[in-house]
């Protein structure tokens, strides 16, 4: 919960490599060619291999595709490409049985493997349930026996959107259902003495995905023979920055928890693009292992002890956690007004950015502030709501006055930051919020109480500058100050830490506040140290997105070397990915695979261009009718591949237009959105 240690899992073999145990976290990708097209598939595998991809998955819809894996494998091995291959199976037990003759690992979906009923939403009695399970067991056991015979490992890969009717009837479409679906198959494996398994629990909803993996680990480690490896991924993450941000948040949140042995970043792009993103996500954790060796893992004996203690099963133990790891609840905070915007409680988290220019730069400062706060835009548009200006000395106070005069009405969006406590009182008279950066807690406490009267006007944010202090130091200092100020009756307070280790520092902070029943709002601040754009997207998404997914945070402030537009866009992408502030359309688009028979990337780009402004709407863009409708989960509208150059359109789960031509499908989707009253005309909504 408070520092990184990786969960030690059973090592599982994938042909020439292993994963789990003390092995590095492996990066996987998946081809999107037709598996019957040997030349195209081999060529894409070669490009993935050259990009460094460690595991390559191929879709296997039919027995014929399975048979063709032989040709693909032979050609690759002939070309000295020995990357382990994974056969991805949905529904077809016959395809699975054939495929595992030619691959190193097989992925089955417990939601549809050997299922007799396909998404009919039938009611299952207890007897029906057992009967269906027995049918699955008899089918599945044949695959398990053959996998053992061929030395092939197996991923039991649950997807949120494609649970079996049997599971949904008992557990609903929930993380609990996802976990039970996987455990049913794992029990069959263990009963037959087959232990070469790993799990995945994917969802396009980042929060659901995180919760499902955590729950699987809790339940699986308590029940199964071994702690099995995990393959992590956010499914249907989309493309571009949004896809990268969502993937980094979901995968990174679990890696921070010490969970995960292999990952796949699913992008609706060329699969080769997934590889560098995957390596950028796992780098920090693999580097940690290089430095710390085996000490970087939680020893198995601790897992056994926690299994015996059922450490977080009791209500008392859960009460002490800074958040509920298994279900989303936003941290309870008080609501305060900054300018005319509410912050905290159940209001959407606001975004603050820091001015790069110094106050002495006069007109340049004014221009930069106007660009950031863009006061002409609506309150909920994508733009920085507050801009922080640095005030270092008394001379800066006059410069600040000049700036505020020039800004007129817009001056209310300015907040000031200083580390000089003597400037606190004058600043509190001038701006909406003052951030006081502190390092020495105790001495500051006394000084602060002398300076702070209750007649002050602005809100005060106390911010600990966390450089190399332990994770618990800022938490204890700030909680101590907060307690004193609360006793004085000071209400307009916020707290934050500027840190490059936000996940663990803020968890400590929340725990320290909870212990003292303090509910002041928190500003999540993160300052990384990279200038690389991809690394910036990833570390900010992991470190702040994880917190928002767990209900922690009332404002977001990033410190990056990106342009203003890019930084603000990243902040909003993180809040959207955590589903706490929807500022544009949510796209749930799959990466495509051998089941896709239309131009998925082109259609996605076209749909995004025309509908990205429909705030709050969710649009699923899925490559195939086999898995698409289930996996686009809670999308309001769906654009789903239905055959060669054919598309079916959905409203919710209902198919309303079948097999229309790809050429007219995007226009039909727009018309459908209009017919259903969900269209608004586009207004300028970016900075
Ligand atoms: S939904 Fe997309 S990725 Fe999944 S099987 Fe269908 S085409 Fe392939």
Q: What are the extents of the domains in the chain? A: 6-319, 336-577, 586-675
Q: Which CATH fold would you assign to the domain 6-319?
A: TIM Barrel (3.20.20)
DSSP structural state of residue 330: P
Separation of CA 145 and ligand 1 centre (Å): 28
SS (H, E, C) 251-288: HHHHHHCCCCCEEECCCCCCHHHHHHHHHHHHHHHHHH
Identical fold between 6-319 and 586-675: no
Using the predicted structure, report yes or no on whether residue 473 has a pLDDT greater than 80. no
Give percent of the chain above pLDDT 90: 73
Which residues does a 6 A CB cutoff place in the pocket of ligand 1?
Answer: 59, 590-593, 595-596, 622-624, 626-628, 631
Using the predicted structure, report yes or no on whether residue 562 has a pLDDT greater than 90. yes
User: Which atom from ligand 1 is nearest to the alpha carbon of 30?
Assistant: 3
Report pLDDT for 684.
Answer: 53
Q: Quick: pLDDT tens for 233-268.
A: 999 899 999 999 999 999 999 999 999 999 999 999
Separation of CA 591 and ligand 1 centre (Å): 7
Q: Whose CA is nearest to atom 8 of ligand 1?
A: 593
Report pLDDT for 304.
Answer: 55
Separation of CA 299 and ligand 1 centre (Å): 38
CB 547 within 8 A of CB 578: no
Q: pTM of the prediction?
A: 0.94
Residue to mutate, 30, 587, 600, 624, ligand 1, most ligand atoms under 8 Å from C-beta = 624
449's CB contacts (< 8 A; 6+ apart) are: 484, 488
Report pLDDT for 311.
Answer: 45
Tell me what the mean pLDDT of segment 593-600 comes to: 92
- Supply the mean pLDDT for the chain: 91
Q: Whose CA is nearest to atom 5 of ligand 1?
A: 627
Report the first-to-last Cα separation within the chain, whole angstroms.
Answer: 37
Question: Can you name the residues that pair with 685 across neighbouring β-strands?
Answer: none
Give percent of the chain above pLDDT 70: 93
Q: Quick: pLDDT tens for 143-194.
A: 999 999 999 999 999 999 888 888 988 998 899 999 999 999 999 999 999 9
Report pLDDT for 303.
Answer: 57
CA dihedral 120, 89, 265, 568 (to 10 degrees): -20
Separation of CA 641 and ligand 1 centre (Å): 9
Q: Whose CA is nearest to atom 7 of ligand 1?
A: 623
Separation of CA 683 and ligand 1 centre (Å): 33
CB 556 within 8 A of CB 544: yes
Separation of CA 32 and ligand 1 centre (Å): 9
**Burial of 469 per CB tally in 10 Å (0-12, 13-18, 19+):** middle
Q: Whose CA is nearest to atom 1 of ligand 1?
A: 628
Instruction: Answer whether CATH 2.40.50.100 is correct for domain 336-577.
Output: no
Residue to mutate, 626, 633, 635, 640, ligand 1, most ligand atoms under 8 Å from C-beta = 626
Separation of CA 200 and ligand 1 centre (Å): 16
245's CB contacts (< 8 A; 6+ apart) are: 537, 541, 545, 570, 573, 574, 577
Residue to mutate, 592, 632, 640, ligand 1, most ligand atoms under 8 Å from C-beta = 592
Separation of CA 552 and ligand 1 centre (Å): 33
Q: Quick: pLDDT tens for 29-74.
A: 999 999 999 999 999 999 999 999 999 999 999 999 999 999 999 9
Q: Quick: pLDDT tens for 131-148.
A: 889 999 999 999 999 999
> pLDDT band at 437, cuts 50/70/90?
very high
Instruction: Answer whether CATH 3.30.420.80 is correct for domain 586-675.
Output: no
Q: Whose CA is nearest to atom 6 of ligand 1?
A: 624
Q: Which of 111-125, 475-489, 571-585 has the lowest mean pLDDT?
A: 111-125
Report pLDDT for 312.
Answer: 47
Q: How many CB atoms lie within 10 A of CB 88?
A: 26
Using the predicted structure, report yes or no on whether residue 686 has a pLDDT greater than 50. no
**Burial of 650 per CB tally in 10 Å (0-12, 13-18, 19+):** buried
- What distance in Å separates the CA atoms of residue 113 and residue 185, rounded to the nearest whole number? 10
Residue to mutate, 107, 590, 630, ligand 1, most ligand atoms under 8 Å from C-beta = 590
CB 417 within 8 A of CB 389: yes
For 2, list phi and psi in degrees, rounded to 5.
-120, -10
Using the predicted structure, report yes or no on whether residue 632 has a pLDDT greater than 60. yes
Residue to mutate, 623, 629, 640, 647, ligand 1, most ligand atoms under 8 Å from C-beta = 623
Separation of CA 628 and ligand 1 centre (Å): 6
Q: Quick: pLDDT tens for 107-119.
A: 999 998 987 655 4
Separation of CA 627 and ligand 1 centre (Å): 6
Q: Which of 104-108, 380-384, 576-580 has the lowest mean pLDDT?
A: 380-384
> pLDDT band at 685, cuts 50/70/90?
very low
User: Which atom from ligand 1 is nearest to the alpha carbon of 590?
Assistant: 2
Separation of CA 448 and ligand 1 centre (Å): 58
Rounded to a whole number of angstroms, the CA Rg of the chain reads 26
Using the predicted structure, report yes or no on whether residue 124 has a pLDDT greater than 90. no
Q: What share of the chain is helix, strand, coil (3-state, %, to 5)?
A: 45, 20, 35
For 618, list phi and psi in degrees, rounded to 5.
-115, 125
Using the predicted structure, report yes or no on whether residue 555 has a pLDDT greater than 90. yes
């Amino acid at each position: 919960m408070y520092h990184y240690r990786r969960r030690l899992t059973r090592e599982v073999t994938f042909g020439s490599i292993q994963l789990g145990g003390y092995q590095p976290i492996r990066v996987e990708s998946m081809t999107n060619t037709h598996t019957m097209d040997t030349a195209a598939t081999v060529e894409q595998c070669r490009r993935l291999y050259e990009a460094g991809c460690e595991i390559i998955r191929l879709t296997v819809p039919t027995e014929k595709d399975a048979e063709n894996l032989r040709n693909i494998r032979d050609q690759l091995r002939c070309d000295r490409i020995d990357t382990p291959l994974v056969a991805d199976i949905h529904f077809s037990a016959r395809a699975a049985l054939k495929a595992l003759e030619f691959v190193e690992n097989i992925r089955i979906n417990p939601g549809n493997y050997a299922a007799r009923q396909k998404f009919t939403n039938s009611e299952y009695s207890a007897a029906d349930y057992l009967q269906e399970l027995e049918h699955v067991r008899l089918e599945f056991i044949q695959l398990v026996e053959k996998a053992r015979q061929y030395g092939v490992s197996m991923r039991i890969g649950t997807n949120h959107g494609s649970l079996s009717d049997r599971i949904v009837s008992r557990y609903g479409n929930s993380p609990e259902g996802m976990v039970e679906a996987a455990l049913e198959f794992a029990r069959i494996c263990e009963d037959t003495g087959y232990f070469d398994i790993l799990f995945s629990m994917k969802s396009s909803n980042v929060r659901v995905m995180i919760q499902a993996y955590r729950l699987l680990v809790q339940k699986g480690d308590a029940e199964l023979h071994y702690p099995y490896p995990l393959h992590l991924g956010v499914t249907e993450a989309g493309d571009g920055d949004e896809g990268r941000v969502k993937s980094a948040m979901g995968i990174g949140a679990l890696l921070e928890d010490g969970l995960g042995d292999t990952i796949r970043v699913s992008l609706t792009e060329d699969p080769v693009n997934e590889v560098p993103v995957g390596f950028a996500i796992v780098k920090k954790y693999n580097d940690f292992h290089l430095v710390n060796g085996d000490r970087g893992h939680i020893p198995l004996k601790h897992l056994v002890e926690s299994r015996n203690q059922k450490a977080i099963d009791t209500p008392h133990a859960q009460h002490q956690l800074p958040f509920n790891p298994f279900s989303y609840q936003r941290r309870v905070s008080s609501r305060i007004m900054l300018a005319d915007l509410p912050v905290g409680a159940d209001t959407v988290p606001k975004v603050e950015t820091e001015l790069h220019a110094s106050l002495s730069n006069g007109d340049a400062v004014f221009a930069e502030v106007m660009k950031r706060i863009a006061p002409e835009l609506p309150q909920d548009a994508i733009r920085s709501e507050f801009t922080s200006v640095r005030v270092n000395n008394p001379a800066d106070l006059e410069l600040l006055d000049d700036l505020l005069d020039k800004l007129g009405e817009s001056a209310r969006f300015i907040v000031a930051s200083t580390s000089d406590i003597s400037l606190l009182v004058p600043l509190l008279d001038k701006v909406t919020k003052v951030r006081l950066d502190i390092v020495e807690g105790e001495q500051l406490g006394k000084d602060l109480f002398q300076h702070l009267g209750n007649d002050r006007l602005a809100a005060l944010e106390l911010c600990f500058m966390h450089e190399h202090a332990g994770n618990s130091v800022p938490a204890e200092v700030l909680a101590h100050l907060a307690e004193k100020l609360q006793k004085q009756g000071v209400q307009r307070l916020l707290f934050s830490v500027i840190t490059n280790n936000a996940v663990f520092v803020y968890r400590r902070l929340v725990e320290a506040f909870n212990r003292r029943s303090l509910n002041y709002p928190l500003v999540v601040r993160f300052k990384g140290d990279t200038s690389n754009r991809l690394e910036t997207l990833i570390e900010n998404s992991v470190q702040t997105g994880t917190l928002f997914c767990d209900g922690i945070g009332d404002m977001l402030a990033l410190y990056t070397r990106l342009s203003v537009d890019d930084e603000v866009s990243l902040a909003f992408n993180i809040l959207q990915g955590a589903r706490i502030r929807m500022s544009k359309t949510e796209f749930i688009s799959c990466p495509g695979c051998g089941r896709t028979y239309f131009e998925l990337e082109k259609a996605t780009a076209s749909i995004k261009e025309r509908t990205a402004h429909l705030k709050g709407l969710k649009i699923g863009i899925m490559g195939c009718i086999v898995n698409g409708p289930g996996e686009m989960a809670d999308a309001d509208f769906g654009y789903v591949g239905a055959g060669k150059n054919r598309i079916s359109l959905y409203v919710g789960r209902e198919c309303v237009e079948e097999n229309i031509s790809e050429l007219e499908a995007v226009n039909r989707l727009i018309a459908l959105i209009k017919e259903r009253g969900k269209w608004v005309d586009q207004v300028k909504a970016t900075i």
